[in-house]
Structure 1
């Protein structure tokens, strides 16, 4: 076990140099050095790691619950919930349809729907950092979608638990479903009213004791969840949500992160150990179809989201391709399906699907500007090249020079003086000059910038609220929640 964990760490370190996420690296090491692949085998019996892998799963979900920003989600507004609903709905529905089309059964289709429907928050967040898009205007929306996905995961696991437990009659299924959601409600109530009591149980000035008490509580709640017929993942996620409401949140988050990383790595390696490479060939075509479907649904959801928030084509493709990666949650669902004795092809299918997207997602997200060219103008009402191709950002350093946002002038005076015509009008936000756009014959607005070096212009077309900075060569949007000056 020591050897395979060490190798997994070295491979992941090598992968990080080339921009690849760590999760597929761990999984790949498990596949290559497990009993299902010809060559050296470091662990003959993957079940030997079952307890440690379960601890990794529990800590992974617990940390997610601790990090969950409930207030941010609840205060995000209706548009964000609609955008997240469209994203989740498109991907889960596509996954369900694929599962039924493959003839794997209802239980397998539900697992496939979840595996295709929930993106990897770790991969998406790392992409935003590595591609330097943290200040982009669409980035808060991406993070909001990820957070709402995490919330959706809890309810999806609750729905899936009675299915995986193979409830016999309809009455048994209903009872199991009510137990699952009742357990959720109980833990939600604990988060709302019992956080202070939990803080008293965990509170210690010594990090050593706090860590021991925390792990004991998490494993206990996860075990109780299993005893009542609910996934241990739900129990861990929800007790994390309870702890996030206490004054110990920051300390717990710091203490659990290294534990989560180590045991989560063992969980992903253990999943890889269960995969037989001989089974990958039989699921290669379904996995390829799933990848293509996911790319299409993600781009569609990105366009819908961009239209909701008034973003351009570049932002639309940024949204769709940043949340393209699948990882930990897909593997968790596959692990639960394997443990429940569902179709044995589920494991290899999800493994191959995650591996392909782990490679494809960073590459596609980095080239999102090329995909933006194929988004029809009529979908987002962005008619001009620098409007649809540039990334909207809140990082413009010239917002202090935005003095004018409105004007009564409705002509390009320089065009009038020479008897010419124009296409559209632009407003210089520093001095109030109004000139014609770059699609006009004389491009007077750009000429004004060349003379005066006033950096930011604004469109004067009805329904077009974009602003463009000549110096930074980006579209400018005020940070969310900040009103424009007038």
Structure 2
């Protein structure tokens, strides 16, 4: 990397951090800020260009992607998912099914191709854990009755992401025949199963390999193992993100989990910022206009799918209109996972419109979702009683769940 690229990268990351700090004051997430700086100062936008060739930053961006997924695996609450019960899995299946299904239909309707439709389905189907959690904290809803269900759903979505990436990677490969594609799918899932087995039975060995009393050595050994497994995953035709996520699950089952999580978090945040800035630099501003209508449709579909899922989940758990509206509008945020899928699509040489489409979609929802979630009570007012379980009613202005007779009037 030349000194000019180092200068430009440093300036871009600094500007991204300053913009994110400003956005935090107004309750906005940092991911769109990083992307905006990348777009504004990338080669695809008129004006000053900080990095002429963003492709030269691909290794640093890949490291950000790998650390992002690894940290997700480390903090993945397996016990919470397993203990969530059948209703939680039904709720997550409903939410994922409606979002991924609507995204797939939109992708096919756009006519960009089947692989592109699968990427769009994933981009529309997975909520941003960071944005959802941040929204719950800032709106002071952590103690609401529906919040554990929301958190359980986004955790299961993260698990679904691993399976979806394993399925999508062979589809994005260069397989020429159906038999070759089937072989790639089998290899992908075989590697995924192998990593699950290691997570189940090999955690002690991995803990012994990484174990060190010195934080410096633990960090070096951990990052080395993560990058190695991600590289092996890529070599066998599986996404490097899958390998990073699964080795994170392995580490989460060791006694080193809390130390690793603490040590890797700052590295994840820095390199993830580089990933988002670099992704923004690959976007041509002129390409955003042609996908604006498609993005508007995608946003409308996402809102409709999540509001519908919120009503179904509320009925399943016996919640009222306020909880149903909160659930439907809180999980609208899309971010890191949608951009990961877009990055894979760009790397596989799919339709050039995928990158601008996902970028504009993420930017729009990252700003819209906290605003809608903060005003969920207006949606709750117009939700009809038949959508929810009989006997539960919405009562204003109390934030808590209130059971009232069906004949009770709303205040």
- Equivalence for 2:71: 63
Residue 154 (str. 1) matches residue 162 (str. 2):
yes
The CA distance in 2 between the partners of 1:287 and 1:337, in whole Å, is 17
- Structure 2 stretches lacking a partner, 5+ long: 1-8
Give 3-state SS (helix, strand or coil) of 1:373's partner.
Answer: helix
153, 171, 175: which one aligns with 1:145: 153
Cα distance in structure 1, aligned partners of 2:161 and 2:254: 22
1:372–1:389: 8 Å Cα contact kept in structure 2? no
Q: Structure 1 residues 195, 383: CA separation in 2 closer, same or farther (over 3 Å shift)?
A: closer
5 Å-filtered alignment, 1:401-440, equals none
- Please give the residue correspondences for 1:147-296 in structure 2 after superposition, counting only pairs within 5 Å: 147-296=155-304
1:166: Cα distance to partner?
Answer: 2.5
CA contact (8 A) 2:385 2:393 kept: no
Q: Flag the structure with higher helix content.
A: 2
Note the 1:279-318 alignment, pairs <5 A: 279-318=287-326
Name structure 1 gaps, 5 residues minimum: 395-422, 426-436, 441-472, 474-486
- Alignment CA distance shift 1:308-1:263 (3 Å): same
Shift in alpha-carbon separation, 1:195–1:393, aligned structure 2, 3 A: farther
Change beyond 3 A, Cα 1:185–1:38: same
Structure with more relative contact order (C-alpha pairs < 8 Å, separation 6 or more):
2
What CA distance in whole angstroms lies between the structure 2 residues aligned with 1:162 and 1:384?
46
- For 2:10, the equivalent position in structure 1 comes to 2
Whether the aligned pair in 2 keeps the contact of 1:313 and 1:388 (CA below 8 Å) is no
Instruction: Give the deviation of 1:382 after TM superposition.
Output: 6.2
Q: 1:374 to 1:389 in 2, by over 3 A?
A: farther
In the superposition, the TM-score normalised over structure 2's length comes to 0.95
Structure ID, larger Rg: 1
- Residues 314 and 389 in structure 1, CA contact (< 8 A), matched pair in contact too: no
What are the residue-to-residue correspondences of 1:380-459 with 2, within 5 Å?
Answer: 380-381=388-389, 387=395, 390-392=398-400
The residue aligned with 1:24 is 32
Aligned to 1:456: none
- 1:386 deviates by 5.0
Distance 2:56 2:371 in 1: 36
What value does the CA root-mean-square deviation take over the aligned residues?
1.9
CA drift of 1:384 comes to 8.2
Q: Secondary structure at the match of 1:189?
A: helix
Q: 1:391, CA displacement in angstroms?
A: 2.7
Deviation at 1:124, TM superposition (A): 0.1
1:40 to 48, 51, 68: 48
Which of 119, 123, 130 aligns to 2:138? It is 130
CA shift in 2, pair 1:205/1:364, >3 Å:
same
The answer as to whether partners of 2:321 and 2:393 remain within 8 angstroms in 1 is: no
Contact 2:165/2:242 (<8 A) preserved: yes
Residues 87 and 301, structure 1, Cα contact 8 Å, conserved in 2: yes
Distance 1:255 1:162, change over 3 A: same
Instruction: Tell me the number of residue pairs that the alignment of Structure 1 and Structure 2 aligns.
Output: 403
Shift of 1:72: 1.1
TM-score by length of 1: 0.81
* Superposed CA offset, 1:282-340 (max 9, x none): 00000000000000000000000000000000100100111100000000000000000
